[in-house]
Structure 1
């Protein structure tokens, strides 16, 4: 139940309670006033009839009526002049009685039906007015609740878009209430987050660019060293450092949306084989081949990173399986740790986040996810029931320009 429905129900419930309370109060006050007026009038008539009785004149009063209600008779025997509303019959009757001698009781009675009908008509009017007021107030509450719900939903969706990386999304702060303050806060948060990320991107790119020259110098120097274990170790370290710098630059380009996509038709199996060429203990299996229009360089980079990550953090052999427009990368390792898998499924891989000493992501999966997003592909991560991790790359059948629906 959304906030708009809750507001509408709350307003409707309040309107019903207020209408019912007012109706009950008006009913009781009117009923009391009617009865008090009728009793006073009938008592006045009884006193006039008692005067006529003592003067031996005729009147509408009766002496010792046989249908005198029991409570009236008991009160009169105690010397009390009484008025009484009898409601135990088919029609209400109002009585007034008093003693005129030691043995005789003088009583007057009249139908109370007109007052009862008037009260019933008043109840009907109150019910109709209450229902109409409740409907109008509930309709106003529904309109207000719908407007509040739409504004809150818009703010929530904008926050979700910002969380998904759309940092230029903003909320329109309409009004001066709490939701408008929330919209301003969301916009301020997005501005601060965008500024911080932009600063981090610049720092990352600047560091990577500054490292290129020293690495080139180190590579040249290592080539001048005499051949031996030390020179080979030096060359391997320099190559690894160069690869890390290139990865950092690639991440910076992806973050800055500076990368371009160059598409052409390619076979899925050919891209998979080229991607793992040079990687030991990696097998390519083609279940079903397909031709897709995509950026082959980026697809191969994704598969290379996934396979290398599986070799580094999983256990060989690593299987790269081609099934139509999907490429599945599996290993026989312990699988993704639960905390790492939760991060991968929600916010995507975080740079250099490992989750445990047994499995990590470094920059490989970060680049893979960025490249996949660029060509409108979809990556999913899971642990297989039989053991090991599995990453599925699904390419859009109609190319990167087609609409993609993540499932």
Structure 2
């Protein structure tokens, strides 16, 4: 049950209970007033009848002397010299009025007292119809009010989802409209958080780009100087570390370009299955991999796609290298239609990465090895530029599974 339904139901129940209590109170008060009027009228009549009897011995208003049907409780009170009234119970309710006359007898008058006379019936009908109409009106107003509140809260939630998706310029305050209530305060707080997050991300992007650019020149010089060292094991270690540092700087520069939003896809038509096979072959040569360390499976007919082949190859290389580094060979690459799956036989991706996606400088669980966590982040960045969907999960037989689904019409970012 949504918030709108819950609020509407609460308003309806509270208003219905309040209207019911009010109607019962009005009806009870009306019955009490009617009883008081009837008692007063009966008391006046018995007093007039007693005066007439004491004066000239004539009874009025159908009064009777020492009526055997007179209720004992009323007879006891009247014998003490008081004028009193008494209402008998069901099924034949009557209003009795009695007074003691001068000869010591008890003069009494009895009249019918039905609880449901026409006036009370009319009042009851009016209360029922008025209560139903009021409840219907309150229900309508509560649905409208709850709907307005629900729409504003849904607007805030939608803006929060847009911000989580990367649209940091989205404004919750603009989505909910003007107001000075709690929803407006929530929207303002969300906008403040988004603004702070936008500033932090911009500072991080600038820092990454500045560091990468500042390191590029000295790292290039370091690599050049390392090539001039005399042959030997120490020289090999220096050159190897220098190359690792250069790759890290290049990765940082690539991430900085993704953050700046300037990357665009250079589209061309390629046969996806054949292209993946060629890309894996080139990767084997570049990385000096054994032929059986990466296996390509092609399922179904060849699919021609319009995409950026360079980015597809970059995504494949990062996923395969990640699988070789953190998982266990063979790495199985399956191409089916517009979908590419890369599966290793290791311990699988950590749950946090599967749920939230890759993050830079976070390589995952210790059992998947060490690293800077940039490879999967760069792969996700290229997939975003292509408008493709890159997801991470667990393979049916165990191990990590990365699935890249290319769109029918690639969406490029400017």
Which position in structure 2 is the counterpart of 1:298?
311
Could you tell me which residue of structure 2 aligns to residue 98 of structure 1?
99
Q: Quick check: 1:88 aligned with 2:98?
A: no
Q: Is the 8 A contact 2:353 2:392 kept in 1?
A: no
Name the structure 2 match of 1:203: 207
CA distance in structure 1 between the partners assigned to 2:67 and 2:275 by the alignment:
113
The answer (yes or no) to whether the contact 1:314–1:331 under 8 Å persists in 2 is: yes
Partner of 2:404: 393
Please state how far the C-alpha of 1:257 moved relative to its aligned partner: 0.9
Q: 2:207 aligns to what SS in structure 1?
A: helix
Contact persistence 1:87–1:93 (CA under 8 A) = yes
C-alpha RMSD over aligned residues:
2.4
The answer to whether structure 1 residue 356 and structure 2 residue 365 are counterparts is yes
CA distance in 2, matches of 1:79, 1:336: 101
CA deviations on 1:294-326 (whole Å, 9 max, x unpaired) are: 111111111111111111111111111112221
How many pairs align? 396
| TM-fit CA distance, 1:344 | 3.0
1:383 to 2:375 alignment: no
| Counterpart-to-counterpart distance in 2, 1:174 and 1:78 | 76
For residue 405 of structure 1, what is the aligned residue in structure 2? none
Q: Is the 8 A contact 2:50 2:59 kept in 1?
A: no
Counterpart in the other structure of 2:380: 369
Moved more, 99-108 or 188-197: 99-108
Residue 200 (structure 1) shift: 0.9
Q: 1:121 maps to what in 2? A: 122
C-alpha distance in structure 1 between counterparts of 2:405 and 2:79, whole Å: 101
Please state if 1:35 is matched with 2:40.
no
Are the counterparts in 2 of residues 274 and 300 from structure 1 also a CA contact under 8 Å? no
Distance in 2 between the 1:98 and 1:333 partners? 106
Aligned residue in 1 for 2:258:
254
Encode CA deviations 1:64-112: one digit per residue, 9 max, x unaligned: 445445654565566654312234126x432212344888542212233
CA contact (8 A) 1:20 1:130 kept: yes
8 A contact 2:85–2:98 mirrored in 1: yes
2:159/2:171 contact within 8 Å kept: yes
Aligned to 1:158: 159
5 Å-filtered alignment, 1:43-62, equals 43-54=43-54, 55-59=56-60, 60-62=62-64
The answer to whether the aligner puts 1:322 opposite 2:335 as a matched pair is: yes
* Native 8 Å contact 1:34 1:115 kept in 2: no
- Given the alignment of the two structures, is residue 309 of structure 1 paired with residue 322 of structure 2, yes or no? yes
Q: Which runs of 5+ in 1 are unaligned?
A: 403-407
Aligned to 1:132, the other structure's residue is in SS state helix
Stretch of structure 1 that moved more, 139-148 or 100-109: 100-109
Distance 1:344 1:252, change over 3 A: farther
Instruction: Give the counterpart of 1:221 among 215, 218, 225.
Output: 225
Tell whether the 8 Å contact from 2:43 to 2:85 is kept in structure 1 after alignment: yes
Partners of 2:278 and 2:101 in 1: CA distance: 124
Shift of 1:44: 1.2
List runs of 5+ in structure 2 lacking aligned partners: none
